[in-house]
Chains A and B, each alone.
Chain A
Amino acid sequence: MSAQTATKVETATAVPRILGERAPKVTARNVDIYYGEKHAIKSLSVDIPDRAVSAFIGPSGCGKSTFLRSINRMNDTIPSCRVTGDIKVDNKDIYARDLDVVHLRARVGMVFQKPNPFPKSIYENVAYGPRIHGTASGKADMDDIVERSLRRASLWDEVKDRLNSPGTGLSGGQQQRLCIARAIAVNPEVILMDEPCSALDPIATARIEELIDELKQNYCIVIVTHSMQQAARVSQLTAFFHLGILVEVGDTDDIFTKPKDKRTQDYITGRFG
Chain B
Amino acid sequence: MTEIAATAAHSMSAAESAAARRLRKRYAAEWRFRAYGVAALIIAALFIVALLSDVVVKSVSAFTQTRVTLDVPVSAETIDPEGKRDPQTLLTADYTALLRDALREKFPTVTSRNDRRALNGLLSSGASEDLQKRVVADPALIGTTVKTTALLSDDADLFVKGRVTAIETEQGTGSATVSGMDGDVTIVSTNKDFADALASVKRSLASQASALLAEADRVADNARSTTGDEKTALDAKIAELRAQVAVLNARFAAAGAPESVDAEEPTTLVKINGGVVRATEISATEIKGTTMVPLTSADAAAAGTWKIETLAVPEASRRVSDQEAVFLSVLSDQGLIAKNFNWSFFSRGDSREPELAGVLGGLVGSLLTMFVTLVLSLPIGVLAAIYLEEFAPKNRWTEFVEVNINNLAAVPSIVFGLLGLAVFLNFFGMPRSAPIVGGLVIALMALPTIIIASRAAIRAVPPSIREAALGVGASHQQAVFHHVLPLAMPGIMTGTIIAMAHSLGETAPLIMIGMVAFVVDIPSGFTQAASVLPVQIFSWADLPEIAFQAKTAAAILVLLVFLFLMNAVAIVLRRRFERRW
Distance between Cα atoms of A128 and B474 in the complex (Å):
9
What sequence of 0s and 1s flags, for each residue 100-139 of chain A, a beta carbon within 8 Å of any chain B beta carbon? Answer: 0011011001111010111110000000110011000000
The answer to whether the Cβ of B331 comes within 8 Å of any Cβ in the partner chain is no
Q: In the complex, how many residues of chain B place their beta carbon closer than 8 angstroms to a beta carbon of chain A?
A: 20
B467 touches A74 (CB 8 A): yes
Q: Of A77, A111, A117, A128, which contacts B466 at CB under 8 A?
A: A77
The answer to whether the Cβ of A72 comes within 8 Å of any Cβ in the partner chain is yes
A179 cross-chain contacts in B, Cβ below 8 A? 468
The answer to whether the Cβ of A172 comes within 8 Å of any Cβ in the partner chain is no
The answer to whether the Cβ of B17 comes within 8 Å of any Cβ in the partner chain is no
Q: Of A105, A112, A128, which contacts B482 at CB under 8 A?
A: A128
B473 touches A103 (CB 8 A): yes
Distance between Cα atoms of A112 and B467 in the complex (Å):
9
Distance between Cα atoms of A182 and B475 in the complex (Å):
16
B471 touches A118 (CB 8 A): no
The answer to whether the Cβ of B558 comes within 8 Å of any Cβ in the partner chain is no
Question: Nearest-CB distance from B471 to chain A (Å)?
Answer: 4
Distance between Cα atoms of A77 and B482 in the complex (Å):
17
B471 touches A128 (CB 8 A): no
Instruction: Knowing A103-B473, A106-B473, A183-B471, say if A118 contacts B465 (CB, 8 Å).
Output: yes
B471 touches A105 (CB 8 A): yes
What sequence of 0s and 1s flags, for each residue 131-155 of chain B, a beta carbon within 8 Å of any chain A beta carbon? Answer: 0000000000000000000000000
Q: Which of B473, B475, B482, B487 counts the most A-chain CB atoms under 10 A from its CB? A: B473
A168 cross-chain contacts in B, Cβ below 8 A? 581
Q: Which of B464, B469, B472 counts the most A-chain CB atoms under 10 A from its CB? A: B472
Chain B contact residues: over half helix, strand or loop, or mixed? Answer: helix
Distance between Cα atoms of A112 and B466 in the complex (Å):
12
Instruction: Knowing A79-B394, A114-B464, say if A74 contacts B470 (CB, 8 Å).
Output: yes
Q: Of A72, A79, A132, A133, which contacts B471 at CB under 8 A?
A: A72
Q: Of A72, A112, A119, A182, which contacts B487 at CB under 8 A?
A: A119
Q: Of B394, B468, B581, which contacts A116 at CB under 8 A?
A: B468
The answer to whether the Cβ of A186 comes within 8 Å of any Cβ in the partner chain is yes
A77 touches B472 (CB 8 A): no
Distance between Cα atoms of A183 and B472 in the complex (Å):
6
The answer to whether the Cβ of A166 comes within 8 Å of any Cβ in the partner chain is yes
B467 cross-chain contacts in A, Cβ below 8 A? 74, 77, 110, 112, 116
B581 touches A105 (CB 8 A): no
Distance between Cα atoms of A120 and B475 in the complex (Å):
19
A109 touches B464 (CB 8 A): no
Question: Nearest-CB distance from A230 to chain B (Å)?
Answer: 21
B473 touches A119 (CB 8 A): no
Q: Of B471, B474, B482, which contacts A109 at CB under 8 A?
A: B471
Q: Which of A112, A116, A166, A185 counts the most B-chain CB atoms under 10 A from its CB? A: A116
Q: How many residue pairs, one in A and one in B, have C-beta atoms under 8 Å apart?
A: 67
Question: Nearest-CB distance from A183 to chain B (Å)?
Answer: 7
The answer to whether the Cβ of B232 comes within 8 Å of any Cβ in the partner chain is no
Q: Of A112, A129, A132, A186, which contacts B464 at CB under 8 A?
A: A112
Distance between Cα atoms of A204 and B386 in the complex (Å):
38
What sequence of 0s and 1s flags, for each residue 445-486 of chain B, a beta carbon within 8 Å of any chain A beta carbon? Answer: 000000000000000001011111111111100100011000
Distance between Cα atoms of A133 and B464 in the complex (Å):
21
A117 touches B473 (CB 8 A): no
Distance between Cα atoms of A106 and B394 in the complex (Å):
28
B482 cross-chain contacts in A, Cβ below 8 A? 128, 132
What sequence of 0s and 1s flags, for each residue 394-432 of chain B, a beta carbon within 8 Å of any chain A beta carbon? Answer: 100000000000000000000000000000000000000
B473 touches A133 (CB 8 A): yes
Distance between Cα atoms of A168 and B470 in the complex (Å):
18
B472 touches A128 (CB 8 A): yes
B470 cross-chain contacts in A, Cβ below 8 A? 74, 77, 105
Question: Nearest-CB distance from A49 to chain B (Å)?
Answer: 22
Question: Nearest-CB distance from A118 to chain B (Å)?
Answer: 6
A109 cross-chain contacts in B, Cβ below 8 A? 471-473
A117 cross-chain contacts in B, Cβ below 8 A? 468
A132 touches B483 (CB 8 A): no
Distance between Cα atoms of A75 and B468 in the complex (Å):
13
Within 8 A of B (CB), among A118-169: 118-120, 128-129, 132-133, 166, 168
Question: Nearest-CB distance from B115 to chain A (Å)?
Answer: 78
B468 touches A112 (CB 8 A): yes
Distance between Cα atoms of A166 and B3 in the complex (Å):
67
Question: Nearest-CB distance from A268 to chain B (Å)?
Answer: 30
Distance between Cα atoms of A8 and B188 in the complex (Å):
141
- What is the chain B residue whose CB lies nearest that of A182? B472
A116 touches B472 (CB 8 A): no
Distance between Cα atoms of A185 and B474 in the complex (Å):
13
A120 touches B473 (CB 8 A): no
B471 touches A112 (CB 8 A): yes
Distance between Cα atoms of A110 and B464 in the complex (Å):
12
B475 cross-chain contacts in A, Cβ below 8 A? 102
Distance between Cα atoms of A102 and B470 in the complex (Å):
8
Distance between Cα atoms of A231 and B580 in the complex (Å):
39
Distance between Cα atoms of A79 and B476 in the complex (Å):
14
Q: Which of A102, A109, A166 counts the most B-chain CB atoms under 10 A from its CB? A: A102
A72 cross-chain contacts in B, Cβ below 8 A? 471
B473 touches A118 (CB 8 A): no
What sequence of 0s and 1s flags, for each residue 174-210 of chain A, a beta carbon within 8 Å of any chain B beta carbon? Answer: 0000010011011000000000000000000000000
Instruction: Knowing A119-B465, A128-B482, say if A74 contacts B471 (CB, 8 Å).
Output: yes
Distance between Cα atoms of A110 and B580 in the complex (Å):
26
A118 touches B483 (CB 8 A): yes
B464 touches A116 (CB 8 A): yes
- What is the chain A residue whose CB lies nearest that of B464? A116
- What is the chain B residue whose CB lies nearest that of A80? B394
Within 8 A of A (CB), among B546-581: 580-581
B468 touches A118 (CB 8 A): yes
B462 cross-chain contacts in A, Cβ below 8 A? 116
Distance between Cα atoms of A79 and B392 in the complex (Å):
11
Distance between Cα atoms of A114 and B473 in the complex (Å):
19
Within 8 A of A (CB), among B108-146: none
Question: Nearest-CB distance from B578 to chain A (Å)?
Answer: 9
Distance between Cα atoms of A183 and B473 in the complex (Å):
9
B474 touches A102 (CB 8 A): yes
Question: Nearest-CB distance from A6 to chain B (Å)?
Answer: 35
B474 cross-chain contacts in A, Cβ below 8 A? 102, 128-129, 132
Instruction: Knowing A79-B394, A118-B483, A119-B581, say if A132 contacts B466 (CB, 8 Å).
Output: no
What sequence of 0s and 1s flags, for each residue 215-252 of chain A, a beta carbon within 8 Å of any chain B beta carbon? Answer: 00000000000000000000000000000000000000
Question: Nearest-CB distance from A198 to chain B (Å)?
Answer: 14
- What is the chain B residue whose CB lies nearest that of A104? B473
Q: Which of A105, A111, A179 counts the most B-chain CB atoms under 10 A from its CB? A: A105
Question: Nearest-CB distance from B156 to chain A (Å)?
Answer: 64
Distance between Cα atoms of A166 and B580 in the complex (Å):
9
- What is the chain A residue whose CB lies nearest that of B581? A119
Q: Of A111, A116, A132, A166, which contacts B473 at CB under 8 A?
A: A132
Question: Nearest-CB distance from A104 to chain B (Å)?
Answer: 8
Known: A102-B474, A105-B473, A116-B465. 14 other contacts (CB 8 A): A74-B471, A77-B466, A77-B470, A102-B473, A105-B471, A109-B471, A116-B467, A118-B468, A118-B469, A118-B483, A128-B474, A132-B473, A132-B482, A182-B472
Instruction: Give residues in B with beta carbon < 8 Å to A.
Output: 394, 462, 464-475, 478, 482-483, 487, 580-581
- Which 8 A-B residue pairings sit nearest by Cβ, starting from the closest? A106-B473, A119-B581, A116-B464, A129-B472, A110-B471, A105-B473, A116-B468, A102-B475
A/B interface sample: 11 pairs, CB < 8 A: A77-B466, A105-B470, A119-B465, A128-B469, A128-B472, A128-B474, A129-B472, A129-B473, A166-B581, A183-B471, A183-B472
